[in-house]
Structure 1
Amino acid sequence: MSKPQLQSAEVLAARHHARYPGETLAYRQARNALLAEEIELRRHIERVAAMRRALPTSGDVPENFRFDSADGPVTLAQMFGDHDTLVIYNWMFGPKRERPCPMCTCLLSALDGEMPDILQRVAFGVVARAPIERMQAFAQERHWEHLRLYSSGGSSFNQVYLGEDPGGDDIPGLNVFVRISDTIKHFYGDEMGPDTSDPGQDPRGAPDLMPLWNILDLTPAGRGTDWYPSLDYQAANPPHH
């Protein structure tokens, strides 16, 4: 069956009849031009997602890596639970760090709220090289309730799947694994970083997983260049009464 012919983004934008109080003709013309680009962006995102879904599975996982969890030792295979897909985020919280990465933590705080929904479809684990006790203590401090935390401190998982550089420093990343019968294969890894970033921009993926940046991208000032997430806002910004 052939795919339906899509109308041009410009036609769809011109058909849109939303109007806001007091808007000018110049605003509407600029907004419709932007709307057409947004439609094209949505279509491009879907094309990229389709290419990602169509990836052939990559290599077999070289070993059934072992991790520490709040409930004791667990293997990579056990992390799948009842699902055939496992997503793992590499949290930058290694032995060289007194505190975890604020950017990673910001993302994980958002994912904690989404986790009950995500876990309906796939298994999801957060892996770091810090001892599980330190991971749990920070999760309690951050009021995380749903993230599944695993310490990889006793395995080579981070080295094998690009979560640690040769010097032993943490690298953030996301990997997707699939279980086919009794075999676990690597399916996808986030490969966008400093070596693929554009001038004047922080390294970022596409689509960007952090809701924070997507919200700020909708505002006049955008992401800005003088602000990053913090691990603790209470000390710096006490509540007003």
Structure 2
Amino acid sequence: MSSPVGLWPDNADDEYRAARTALWQAEQDLRDALEAVAEARRALPPGALLRDDYALREGPADPGLDQPEVTRSLRDLFGEHRTLVVYHLMFAPGAPEACPMCSMWVDGLHGVSHHLARHTAFAVVAEASVAELRAWGRRRGWDGLRLISAGGTTFGRDVGAVRPDGTLRPGLTVLRREDDGVRHCYTAFADWSEADRERGIDLYSPVWQVLDLLPQGRGDWYAANDYAGRLRG
């Protein structure tokens, strides 16, 4: 086994050095496993073709602008890109606010959205109305994000973000624009199962990755909507 360099102060004792070296190897093994999973994800066979007649509604990219909403097809959301990443925001029509955990995930994606735009289209989709999404985006400071209302369409149900009983699921979907339509590539939800809730998309939020570095770990912490750094009235 090769030895790590620079991972501890010079006065670290042998017990710490040995334990950190073993952890360093485990971290490399985890990296290799993640890369293998990513390769398998990319190698999935072609997914189902989706309808392209959803009457999706969009407000302006800057939620502070009072511009009329427009109707978009699913294909319209791709712009110049071949791929589209959708975050399924748990925000029901008439709800006072969006899911705090979902909003945390979108906060992180918003922070890197200008980097993502070099490679793929990205949109936040919810069942709430455009006006509700625009108001929430303004409070969170989500300037530049495409906020899409799928309310009144079957898009959420078709990709599993809306359960048959109408309850919502937080997650991510990747779509690809083909000559014959829009093809589903991949969907991941926070709730892998009833016994393993809210861990399915942890890798896509920097918050969990940093909390897991701490000696005390993430504990039972849960995001809230009353302290976000860019929260606006």
Shorter-normalised TM range: 0.7 to 0.9
- 1:102-149, Cα deviation, whole Å (9 max, x unpaired): 000001011111000001100011100111111111111111112210
Superposition TM-score, scaled by structure 2 size: 0.88
Against the structure 1 CA distance between its residues 30 and 44, is the aligned structure 2 distance closer, same or farther, given a 3 Å change threshold?
A: same
Contact kept, 8 Å, 2:191 with 2:198, in 1: the verdict is yes
2:224 pairs with 1:230:
yes
Q: Which has the larger Rg? A: 1
Against the structure 1 CA distance between its residues 88 and 144, is the aligned structure 2 distance closer, same or farther, given a 3 Å change threshold?
A: same
Structure 2 counterpart of 1:140, which letter? R
Q: Which runs of 5+ in 1 are unaligned?
A: 1-10, 235-241
Distance in 2 between the 1:43 and 1:196 partners? 28
- 1:38-66, Cα deviation, whole Å (9 max, x unpaired): 00000000000000011111111134322
Against the structure 1 CA distance between its residues 131 and 206, is the aligned structure 2 distance closer, same or farther, given a 3 Å change threshold?
A: closer
The partner residue of 1:214 within 204, 209, 219 is: 209
2:6 pairs with 1:22:
no
More deviation, 151-160/175-184: 175-184
- The residue aligned with 2:101 is 103
Contact kept, 8 Å, 2:91 with 2:99, in 1: the verdict is yes
Aligned-pair distance for 1:194? 4.5
- The residue aligned with 2:137 is 139
Correspondence list, 1:130-209, <5 A = 130-190=128-188, 193-195=191-193, 197-198=195-196, 202-205=197-200, 208-209=203-204
Structure 1 counterpart of 2:18, which letter? Q
Distance in 1 between the 2:37 and 2:155 partners? 28
- The residue aligned with 1:31 is 20
Contact kept, 8 Å, 2:91 with 2:97, in 1: the verdict is yes
Contact kept, 8 Å, 1:113 with 1:146, in 2: the verdict is no
Counterpart secondary structure, 2:50: coil
Structure 2 counterpart of 1:213, which letter? W
Aligned-pair distance for 1:17? 5.1
Distance in 2 between the 1:115 and 1:190 partners? 19
Structure 1 counterpart of 2:20, which letter? R
Contact kept, 8 Å, 1:162 with 1:173, in 2: the verdict is no
Against the structure 1 CA distance between its residues 228 and 154, is the aligned structure 2 distance closer, same or farther, given a 3 Å change threshold?
A: same
- 1:19-45, Cα deviation, whole Å (9 max, x unpaired): 314311111100000000000000000
Superposition TM-score, scaled by structure 1 size: 0.85
Aligned-pair distance for 1:97? 2.5
